[in-house]
Chains A and B, each alone.
Chain A
């Protein structure tokens, strides 16, 4: 006689009937190439303008903070691609640049004097921004999922 607890344990293990797709496995292995040595991770913070709320036009505001820097990202989803307009404040210094990254595509951008940058045509999914500063550790935002 199979009791309920045994049945439940069997069910949990049996959930393995649905095999891991190869592309998911490959993406996980490729993710290793996305690590940024010595990076400081910027964590999400309250964004007074929008509190990470997506507006009717598909625009979403997110804020990250670390190492004295604030990353404000305005992410727009349209036509199956995402556009990012961001600002890092205060300006991290002369010679700084950012990498706007997804698991499949990285776009490098110089920062304007105001700390602004923009990147367009990124694939939907996971997104992170890394700020590289001469002579200091890079600062990367946590990965955030952006989908229509």
Chain B
């Protein structure tokens, strides 16, 4: 059995005509790219465009990625940028973040899948604006993007986020008590 291949190694192989390496990159990062696009508030069709757009951008830069080992963060950041471009076309005025290669990878946090699933189910049970706000936070959108998306002042995002997290905490506690 082979050891899992390093992402940088996969990228180099993909640049050298290795379809299998490309497929492995897709398996490794596709779900996270989808989550990033969806959590920016895109519909399934638009999220599909954002993810596809990020892969096409990678094709354009296949031989010029400066840090191959950071390809996961590059793909996540590019997906977020494509998602926000799509959002901006639908809603002029949505601010765009600068794409910074090497953004922190959300997967660095180690959490049990079951906990994550329950947490997300609880978010889905919240009323607006908490549901959308926490979805945007999950996509690492900054306060300005969140404010633009919700149509509220930037200064109100932090306090609202705290209140929403408190409601989420209460909801999860109630669900755990019932079980």
State the A residues within 8 Å of B (CB).
Answer: 2, 4, 7-21, 23-25, 27-29, 31-32, 34-35, 41, 103, 125-126, 128, 142-143, 145, 147
Cα separation A35 to B17 with both chains bound (whole Å): 10
Q: In angstroms, how far is the closest chain B Cβ from the Cβ of A139? A: 12
Number of A-B contacts (CB under 8 A): 125
Q: In angstroms, how far is the closest chain A Cβ from the Cβ of B162? A: 7
Cα separation A12 to B27 with both chains bound (whole Å): 19
The answer to whether B106 touches A17 (Cβ under 8 A) is: no
Cα separation A27 to B34 with both chains bound (whole Å): 13
The answer to whether A17 touches B120 (Cβ under 8 A) is: yes
Interface of chain A: mostly helix, strand, loop or mixed: helix
Name 21 A/B residue pairs within 8 A (Cβ), A-sorted: A10-B116, A12-B106, A12-B138, A12-B140, A15-B36, A15-B106, A16-B31, A18-B35, A18-B38, A24-B34, A24-B51, A24-B52, A28-B26, A28-B52, A29-B19, A29-B23, A32-B19, A143-B57, A145-B49, A145-B85, A147-B49
Residues of chain B from 44 to 88 with CB closer than 8 A to chain A in the complex: 44, 47-49, 51-53, 55-57, 59-60, 62, 85-86
The answer to whether B32 touches A16 (Cβ under 8 A) is: yes
The answer to whether B55 touches A28 (Cβ under 8 A) is: yes
The answer to whether B165 touches A15 (Cβ under 8 A) is: no
The stretch of B1-9, B107-115, B142-150 in contact with A is: B107-115
Count, chain B residues at interface, CB 8 A: 51
Cα separation A32 to B134 with both chains bound (whole Å): 34
Closest residue of chain B to A1, judged by CB? B169
Residue among A18, A29, A128 having the largest count of chain B Cβ atoms under 10 Å = A18
Of the candidates B51, B107, B140, which one forms a contact with A28 in the assembled complex, judged by CB atoms under 8 Å apart?
A: B51
Across-interface contacts of A41 in B (CB, < 8 A):
60
The answer to whether A7 touches B169 (Cβ under 8 A) is: yes
Residue B117 at the A interface, CB < 8 A?
yes
Residue B39 at the A interface, CB < 8 A?
yes
Closest residue of chain A to B49, judged by CB? A145
